[in-house]
Amino acid sequence: MRTAATAAGSGNGNGNGAGQPAKRSLSTRTLLVQSEGLVNDQYGASMPPIYQTATFQQPGAIEMGEYDYSRSGNPTRTVLEKQMALLEGGERAFAFSSGMSALAAVTRLLSTGDHVVAGDDLYGGTSRLLSRVVPAAGIEVSNVDTSNLEAVKAAIIPGKTKLVMLESPTNPRMQICDIRAICTMAHEAGALVCVDNSILTCLYQRPLDLGADIAMTSATKFIGGHSDVTAGILAVRDPALADRVYFVQNAEGTALGPFDCWLLVRGIKTMALRMERQVANAQRIAEWLAAHPAVHSVNYPGLPGHPGKDVHDGQASSAGSIISFITGDATVSQTVVEETQLFKITVSFGNVRSLISMPCFMSHASIPADVRAARGLPNDLVRISVGIEDVDDLLADLEQAFDKATAASTAGAAALPAAAST
């Protein structure tokens, strides 16, 4: 994937128009590393200094400098936000204290009486925000299967729907929605579109290029990559919309602190290396799971049978490294999760270390059980975030965990009393 940023090619260097060096776009992989133009340090530092300060001294009583208070702006944060805007193809980007604070800022763009259309397979925290916080402001929310374009079209109310909230792939069922088509529908009805792109990041999918107004990424995940920072990024195409987002960020004080910004600037540089290894590992693991007799189905857009694969391949350059699967038995799934040694039982994803969880009891536990059931989110669903370890070690770990789970299930079934005949 290439961006609008350019680099000079060969040329005669004489300064004449005809002899100007040829310009070509730089790939995202290069821009992840090459951020020198964004760091304007007086000593020539290649990494931005950490401006760990709350306030900035001003040149005079009525003359204000570029920065005055770190809630409103900080040089370390500026470097991060400029780089993320470049990577996302946006006008501006904004760094928040968490992914949820970034999404909450998006909902602050709404007013009482507005209507939101959102997916019915979203991150649990997003579902909680939209079902329990946003309605308190007099805003109506409709949840639909966003992989079904007709359902999305039917849910949008022209003139009333002001926001469409998407994930693609969704978390945790890895469903795919046609971002381009939904953006067209939404814009015709006068609505904004926000895409949570946390699973793929700008490395593999750029929602703004597909027509979205706002691209949101939980930087806690792949951008940071090491589970040592909590952060969220919003990237925006339209300058006027960017001004509104900045107003909310500054007014509510949800901007990311300088040290956390610095951690993300550092993490960005190795993002491609990490994610490419994670994706390669995930493809092997998804194929292994799909062939395992104890697995009923695997949700991963890199597999040929995924129902949204064609749409996904048309808007993203990778399937990512998040996999979910069901076994048909919550006890079997629990045993698999608890018997793994290399996969750590934890919420979240995007770490260099492989993670495993049961969403219904962890990341999506805030969604009522009846709602989860209605949305096709079963208790036996397991989500894997694949790390950068040796894939053969990961496969061996899964194999021994499945062996123990199936053995325990067989033993339990054998111990049950025979059903009475009638």
pLDDT in tens, 309-357: 999 999 999 999 999 999 999 999 999 999 999 999 999 999 999 999 9
Confidence of residue 9 (pLDDT cuts 50, 70, 90): very low
Cβ-count burial of 22 within 10 angstroms (0-12 exposed, 13-18 middle, 19+ buried)? exposed
Are 259 and 230 in contact by the 8 Å Cβ rule? The answer is no
pLDDT of residue 44: 84
Joined tokens for residue 233: 């990024």
Catalytic residue among 51, 67, 123, 204: 123
Are 229 and 264 in contact by the 8 Å Cβ rule? The answer is yes
Based on the residue annotation, tell me whether 243 is a catalytic residue of this protein. Answer: no
Joined tokens for residue 240: 């006027």
Parallel, antiparallel or unpaired: strands 344-345 and 232-236:
unpaired
Mean pLDDT rounded to a whole number for the chain: 91
DSSP bridge pairs for 46: none
Percent of the chain scoring above 70 in pLDDT = 91
**How many helices (H) does the chain have, and how many strands (E)?**
14, 14
Residue 317, classed as helix, strand or coil, is coil
Residue 124, classed as helix, strand or coil, is helix
Are 151 and 144 in contact by the 8 Å Cβ rule? The answer is yes
Parallel, antiparallel or unpaired: strands 382-385 and 355-357:
antiparallel
Based on the residue annotation, tell me whether 71 is a catalytic residue of this protein. Answer: yes
pTM score, two decimals?
A: 0.91
Catalytic residue among 71, 82, 180, 284: 71
Q: Tell me the pLDDT tens digit for each residue of 141-185.
A: 999 999 999 999 999 999 999 999 999 999 999 999 999 999 999
pLDDT of residue 38: 75
Vertex 268 angle, CA 56 and 394, to 5°: 140
Counting Cα atoms < 13 Å in the Cβ hemisphere of 335 gives 20
330-339 helix and 391-415 helix, angle to the nearest 10 degrees = 140
Based on the residue annotation, tell me whether 196 is a catalytic residue of this protein. Answer: yes
Rounded Cα–Cα distance for residues 359 and 346 (Å): 10
Q: Which residue has the tokens 């729907």?
A: 161
Residue 228 backbone dihedrals phi, psi, to 5 degrees: -120, 10
Q: Tell me the pLDDT tens digit for each residue of 15-59.
A: 334 444 455 688 999 999 986 567 778 888 888 899 999 999 999
Total residue count of the chain as it appears in this document: 422
Catalytic residue among 121, 196, 260, 397: 196
Rounded Cα–Cα distance for residues 92 and 213 (Å): 11
- Judged against a pLDDT cut of 90, whether residue 279 lies above it is answered with yes
Joined tokens for residue 204: 């593999």
Catalytic residue among 173, 221, 237, 375: 221
pLDDT of residue 24: 62
- Domains defined for the chain, CATH in brackets: 29-269 (3.40.640.10), 272-412 (3.90.1150.10)
pLDDT of residue 7: 42
Joined tokens for residue 68: 């005055």
Joined tokens for residue 95: 């760094």
DSSP summary character for residue 420: P
- Judged against a pLDDT cut of 70, whether residue 192 lies above it is answered with yes
Q: Tell me the pLDDT tens digit for each residue of 67-98.
A: 999 999 999 999 999 999 999 999 999 999 99
pLDDT of residue 13: 37
Q: Over 36-68, what HEC string results?
A: HHHCCCCCCCCCCCCCCCCECCCCCCCCCCCCC
Q: Which residue has the tokens 């799909």?
A: 290
